[in-house]
A and B are shown apart, each in its own frame.
Chain A
């Protein structure tokens, strides 16, 4: 939740500071900062926040499936296994589960798909159904599922690392660009002030500030895609599938 306020304020300060220096005008600097702040509040902070929530839920989901399968291989009963695992639920998940009080165990396990938002969760449910009807050796039957869980957890970590690395690169490269602006502003002095009287100069400077915020929004969109949290009104329906454009037919 902290990100919700930290990033917009940081962008407001940054935009205002470089805007004032670039345009040599407090009003224009505040306009740049204000635009950055609004974009951060409306687009950037919610995406980062949602990404944190999603990855946390997915990691919890993989852990849940893994623990469930291992415990099931010992207890050989789905309800008993669920009761054991349920005791380990904490934080947001425990709170979320309060909505499902009084619901049957199998239904609770199915409903958890809406919370975890994991692609392979339906496979897990299918596996439990097959196991209940036909029995068998859990660890042997779930070999593929357990491998997938391991692979997906590793993938989540590697994507986290990639995003962190690329975000750092983005910040450093743009800081260098703004550093060029800063040095030219102070080294050229009066000459820079004269250049500022030209409309073309101001428009191109505006394009620079616009490019930064557009690139940041695109970066956020690529990194942190919005997900469809079914049954979770807090996040609304954003659609995790490929979004169809105006040119494309609406029916599937």
Chain B
């Protein structure tokens, strides 16, 4: 399987469906542009053929959005699931048991990672499985949280490490909430720009109208 196909599959896409759709659209647009060329409508034919590139670019942008959304969801889920982890630890479970119990609260985004972590912990008692787990996320704070969890295994239920983990996790939780708020504000600001675009359309429209009038008057002379 090709690398890009695997990447799309990891994001939950159906690579076969995508390939077929693109092939079909490519054929439709290419045949339409050939037909238009035969009727000597060169501009329109070029425009229709260019749609192929616009669709590919649009899809690339869409995949990027899905990728970001997926990464965001994974991080949000991490914050939710490790909130349970904190409660289980507080209630006297050990790290392994707490992680096992956390599996119930995961969805398809985090479950395989957690399962991997647990199976790696079975035959590797070093920090490696925790680092590997953290590497699936872009946020460096997750690595710190995972190291703190490993330290808790190492030091038993030493309250200092539990406090350290709690501190890091609260910090991480706050960062996630802040990021979510920031993203939302940015998105809303972008939507509000539509009014400027509207004003732009109006001004361009008036300019075109006035130019046409002047043109008409001059033509009349």
Write the residues of chain A forming the contact surface with B, with a CB cutoff of 8 angstroms. 119-120, 122-123, 126-127, 130, 134, 136, 141, 144-145, 147-148, 151, 155, 158-159, 162-163, 166, 169-170, 173-174, 176-177, 180-181, 184, 191-192, 194-195, 198, 200-201, 204-205, 207-208, 211-212, 214-215, 218-219, 222-223, 241-242, 244-249, 252
Contacts and interface: CB of A to CB of B under 8 A. Distances in A.
A51 to B, nearest CB: 14
Given A123-B84, A219-B191, A244-B12, 9 more contacts: A126-B84, A195-B209, A204-B205, A205-B205, A208-B202, A211-B194, A247-B14, A247-B18, A252-B107
B83 A162 contact: no
Contacts of A215: 191, 194-195, 198
A57 B174 CA distance: 24
B89 to A, nearest CB: 10
Q: Output the residue of B69, B91, B205, B206 with the most chain A CB within 10 A.
A: B205
A90 B80 CA distance: 30
A222 B188 contact: yes
A248 B13 contact: yes
B13 A247 contact: yes
Contacts of B197: 211
Contact of A191 (B84, B198, B213): B213
A155 B177 contact: yes
Contacts of B173: 151
Of all A-B residue pairs in the complex, the 6 with the closest CB atoms, nearest first, are A173-B195, A195-B209, A215-B194, A204-B205, A166-B188, A252-B108
B66 to A, nearest CB: 8
B181 interface: yes
B152 to A, nearest CB: 16
Given A158-B181, A194-B213, A201-B205, A211 B198 contact: yes
Nearest to B216: A194
Contacts, number: 131
A1 B191 CA distance: 27
A162 B208 contact: no
B199 A204 contact: no
A166 B11 CA distance: 32
A100 to B, nearest CB: 24
16 contacts: A130-B91, A136-B91, A141-B90, A144-B87, A147-B170, A162-B184, A166-B185, A170-B192, A174-B198, A180-B202, A195-B213, A205-B205, A211-B194, A222-B191, A245-B66, A249-B13
Contacts of A145: 87
